[in-house]
Structure 1
Amino acid sequence: MADDRANQVTFDDLEVFLVFAKTEHFGQAAAELGVSVPTVQRSVRALERKLGVGLIEQAGRRVRLRHSGQVLAREAHGVLRARADAVDTTLAEAGAPQRVLRVAHTYSLGLGFVPAVLAELLQGLPGLRFRCWQGSATSVVSTLLRGDADVAFTSVAPTEPDMVVDPLFTESLLLAVPADDPLAGRDAVELAGVRDRPFVAMEPGSSSRTHLVNACARAGFVPRIAVEGNDLFLVESMVGAGLGVSVVPAGMNDHRHPRVARLPIAEPGSASRTVFLAYPGGGAVHPSVLELARIARRRGRERG
């Protein structure tokens, strides 16, 4: 019986369902697929009939995945990833151009570390192409878990059992202040000294926000968040305009902001974060991912 059901489910069924599962919104799924909303609705309902299992449910005005839908989305990622890997490996062995490697990374890592890793990888695999996407650490992990990235460089370690997670290096967190701030000329600062200042922070739920709040907690205070942003470059722009101070990773030193100074934090056991490389480990891992991991681990040791 189970085999009969499996034979009825097509790759197209799974692909449409995964697009819907990303947002649990028929309109957004239809826009991404370039079809009508009824088409997506019919596809999901048809998939439920083929499986004989409810995948979605009404929750007030919105539709959400049932537990069975979440399970299918997770497993479907693996199925479609395995299909892509099989095709890519076969084409590569036949001498066809290499696949597109999809890389997700946090903002600060896109300044120096990730480009250096990709440049070295390209030297050994000149036919390889990249599609890069940057965001907060939590959104980078979500992108990886949805199957929209092949590898992720992030400061949040995924906990799913089929993920390979390699710690690469640990870096300090720095206090960012306006370049003309009285603190800017110091060699180091204590966070307690800015406890009464307004702070600029990433949006709630981001790992950078958590690092900032935890660093301030170790210094004995709760920061007063005056401005929130959705990327670190925006956060630093707000700092440079004098709207507050912030806590940022040392990787931001890979570029110079003319209106921002970044200072080491002097408290004992001052704040730091660990950077990880993560990628799905279930089934066959594409050789380009394994080579990228090797390069990233070596460069991480050198940087750490």
Structure 2
Amino acid sequence: MVHQHSSQPRLSPSSYEEDITLLLAPRLAYFAGVARQEHVTRAAQEMGVPQSTLSRAIVRLEEDLGVALFARKGRTVSLTPAGRTFLTSVERALAEVERAAESVQADADPSAGKVAFGFLHTMGSETVPELIRAFRVDHPRIRFTLVQNYGEAMIERLRAGDLDLCLTSPVPDAPDLVARRLDEQRLRLVVPDDHRLAGRKRIRLAEAADETFVTLEPGYGLRRITDDLCAEAGFTPRIAFEGEEAETLRGLVAAGLGVALLPPPAVARPGVVELGVTAPRAVREIGVAWLDGHPDTAPVAAFKRFLLSRRGHLLPD
């Protein structure tokens, strides 16, 4: 006797789960509608679908599950115990989908949507609050999710989809990103107020070759700029401390732990003197970056246009 084998491939547990989800998902709303009305005709009218379409969808749903969800009596139906159990979970799932849809629609609302915006720690006390204040003059209801971090971490979050835009330095150059230079910020050599150079207003960076430096940790854009400027001046800085925040470094300079190359502070700090650097040219470029090819919601597009309109005027004088 020859045994006939089914030509249908057997599904592994994981592929079965994916397959059953695809089968069930389009029919769940139909199931919930019939369960709510307990009548196929009324449910079809409520949902605006042909009664035959609705009936077929329910039959196929039960066949896919291998469980009777309804007891039928003419056009009237009532849930079986299995149907009541299934309905509880289906209603939760549909409500979650509805909440998710409402959330993304609200975030994309042109007048009251949301922008996920990342920026450097050094821009948090003055620059970013002023930017958002100016933007909200014409867009008062747009909301912001703000992330303050160092450059490489923000680029990672941009790629992960956590951010729409980020304000960073140096301006990134990567094939999957679009970046636009907005402004530049002069860096200063910060020294203790009793330092041998404290009486000067300007300095060539090479004059600080024998100094001990306090810097940001590797991975921070300002650390990379510091290393590059020192190399251009002909020396490798001796590092006494590596930190995560520019104002902490200023405090350590005031305590006499070393000198530092830093952007200007929002508020002058006692105990330090800030010297202009004449050579090499000590600046950091500030730019805005976003994912190439990533579609913008209306609020993101509006804020992007606003930032680009501030080229050359992003930072306070």
Alignment TM class, shorter chain as reference = 0.5 to 0.7
Matched residue of 1:302: which SS?
coil
Q: Aligned partners of 1:260 and 1:267: how far apart in 2?
A: 21
> Paired residue for 1:187, among 201, 212, 216?
201
**8 Å contact 1:179–1:261 — kept in the other structure?**
yes
The higher radius of gyration belongs to: 2
Distance 1:107 1:219, change over 3 A: same
Judged with a 3 Å threshold, the aligned counterparts in structure 2 of structure 1 residues 281 and 117 are, in CA distance, closer, same or farther, namely farther
Structure 2 counterpart of 1:275: 286
Distance 1:94 1:248 in 2: 39
CA pair 94-276 structure 1, distance change in 2 beyond 3 A: closer
Aligned-partner residue type, residue 202 of structure 1: L
Superimposed CA distance per residue, residues 208-239 of structure 1 (whole angstroms, 9 cap, x where no aligned partner):
11111111111111100011111212222211
Aligned twin of 1:290: 301
Shift of the 199–127 alpha-carbon distance from structure 1 to 2, 3 Å rule, reads: same
TM value normalised by structure 1 = 0.65
**Does the C-alpha gap of structure 1 residues 303 and 230 become closer, same or farther in structure 2, counting only changes over 3 Å?**
closer
2:214 pairs with 1:200 = yes
For residue 235 of structure 2, give the secondary structure of its aligned residue in structure 1.
coil
Is the CA contact (8 Å cut-off) linking 1:163 and 1:280 kept in structure 2?
yes
How much has 1:105 moved relative to structure 2?
0.6
Normalized per residue, which structure has more helix?
A: 1
Once the two structures are TM-superposed, the CA of residue 94 in structure 1 deviates from its matched residue by: 7.3
Deviation at 1:242, TM superposition (A): 0.9
How far the C-alpha of 1:248 sits from its partner, in A, is 1.3
Q: Structure 2: which 5+ runs fail to align?
A: 1-17, 26-98
Residue 104 of structure 1 pairs with residue 118 of structure 2? yes
**Structure 2 CA distance, aligned partners of 1:174 and 1:105?**
21
Corresponding residue number in structure 1 for 2:260: 246
Residue type of the alignment partner of 2:157 = T
The answer for the alignment partner of 2:250 in structure 1 is 236
Aligned to 1:247, the other structure's residue is in SS state strand
- How many residues align? The count is 226
TM-score by length of 2: 0.62
CA distance, structure 2, for counterparts of residue 254 and residue 288 of structure 1: 29
Partner letter of residue 216 of structure 2?
M
CA RMSD, Structure 1 to Structure 2 (Å): 3.2
In the alignment, does 2:170 pair up with 1:170? no
1:180 positional shift: 3.3
* CA-CA distance at 1:285 after TM superposition: 0.4
AA of the residue aligned to 2:188: L
Distance 2:142 2:181 in 1: 25
Runs of 5+ unmatched residues, structure 1: 11-83
* CA contact 1:88–1:99 (8 Å) conserved in 2: no
Which secondary structure does the structure 1 equivalent of 2:145 belong to?
Answer: strand
Q: 1:44-83 to 2 correspondence within 5 Å?
A: none
One-letter code aligned to 2:241: V
Aligned position for 2:166: 152
1:121/1:197 CA distance change after superposition, 3 Å? same
SS in 2 for 1:184: coil
Q: Distance in 1 between matches of 2:219 and 2:124?
A: 21
The CA distance in 1 between the partners of 2:216 and 2:20, in whole Å, is 46
Q: Determine the C-alpha separation between the residues in 1 that align with 2:259 and 2:20.
A: 58
Q: Is the 8 A contact 2:109 2:298 kept in 1?
A: no
Which amino acid in structure 2 is aligned with residue 284 of structure 1?
A: P
Amino acid at match of 1:260: V
* Structure 1 position 197, deviation (Å): 1.3
For 1:204, the aligned partner's letter is P
